[in-house]
Structure 1
Amino acid sequence: MAYEIMFASFTFFSIMRYLITRFTIPDAVQHKWRWYNVWISWIHALCAGLGCIYCVSIEPTLLNNLQDYDIRFAYNLIEMSTGYFWYDAIDVGVLSGSSLKESLILLCHHFVVILCFTVVVVTGDHVPIAIVCLLVEINSIFLHARQIFRMAKIYDGPFYTVNKIFNIITFFMFRFVSLSWMLRRVILDRSELSIGYFILLVTSFPLMIVINFGLFLQVLAKDVPAFTVLQKLQGSKNQNRKEKDACETLNGHMNGTHQTKPVMKAEVVSKLE
Structure 2
Amino acid sequence: MAIEHERFDNFDHLEPIPYQYGIVVTGCTMVAFFALNRFVYYMGPPKHVAVKDSWKWRNLFGSWFHALIIGSWDISCFLMFPDMVVDLVGYHDMYSYTMIAVTTGYFFYDFVDIVISGRTRTSWEVLLHHVVVAGTFFYNLILCRCIAYTAVALLAEVNSFFLHSRKLMQMLQIRFDAPLYRLNVYLNLLSFILCRFIPLIWIIYGMLMWYYRVEPSYLIILSLDLFVMWVVNIVLFWRLLTNDIIRPTKTKSPAPKQQNGLEITANNNKSHEKLNYNCNGSYANHNSCSRDHINISDYQLRDKLINNHVSNGFKPKLS
Secondary structure of the residue aligned to 1:69 is coil
Q: Helix, strand or coil: the match of 2:42?
A: coil
Give the corresponding residue for 1:215. 236
Task: Give me the CA root mean square deviation.
Answer: 1.7
2:179 counterpart residue number: 158
Higher helix share: 1
One of 223, 234, 255 as aligned partner of 1:202: 223
Correspondence for 1:188 among 200, 209, 213: 209
Q: One-letter code of the match for 2:104? A: T
Residues 26 and 152 in structure 1, CA contact (< 8 A), matched pair in contact too: yes
Which whole-Å deviations, capped at 9, do the CAs of 1:240-269 have from their partners, x for residues lacking one? xxxxxxxxxxxxxxxxxxxxxxxxxxxxxx
Amino acid paired to 1:87: Y
Structure with greater strand percent: 2
Runs of 4+ in 1 over 3 A off after TM superposition: 225-230
Q: Which of 1 and 2 has higher RCO (CA within 8 Å, sep 6+)?
A: 1
Counterpart contact for 1:142–1:167, Cα < 8 Å: yes
Displacement after TM superposition at 1:66 (Å): 2.6
Instruction: Structure 1 unaligned segments of length 5 or more: list them.
Output: 231-273
Structure of larger gyration radius: 2
Q: Tell me how far apart the structure 1 counterparts of residues 49 and 239 of structure 2 sit (CA, whole Å).
A: 20
Distance of 2:105 and 2:157 partners within structure 1:
15
1:122 equivalent in structure 2: 142
Q: TM-score, normalised by structure 1?
A: 0.79
- Per-residue CA distance 1:111-142 (angstroms, 9 max, x = gap): 11011101111011110111011110010111
Aligned to 1:20: 40
Aligned to 1:8: 28
Q: Do structure 1's residue 177 and structure 2's residue 198 form an aligned pair?
A: yes
1:222-251 per-position Cα deviation (integer Å, ceiling 9, x unaligned): 211358749xxxxxxxxxxxxxxxxxxxxx
Amino acid at match of 1:50: S
> CA–CA distance in 1 between the matches of 2:215 and 2:249?
45
Q: For 1:25-36, what aligned pairs fall within 5 Å after superposition?
A: 25-30=45-50, 31-36=53-58
Structure 2: distance between partners of 1:122 and 1:228: 49
Structure 2: stretches of 5+ with no match in the other structure: 1-20, 252-319
Q: Could you tell me how far apart the structure 2 residues matched to 1:99 and 1:47 are?
A: 26
| Residue of structure 1 equivalent to 2:164 | 144
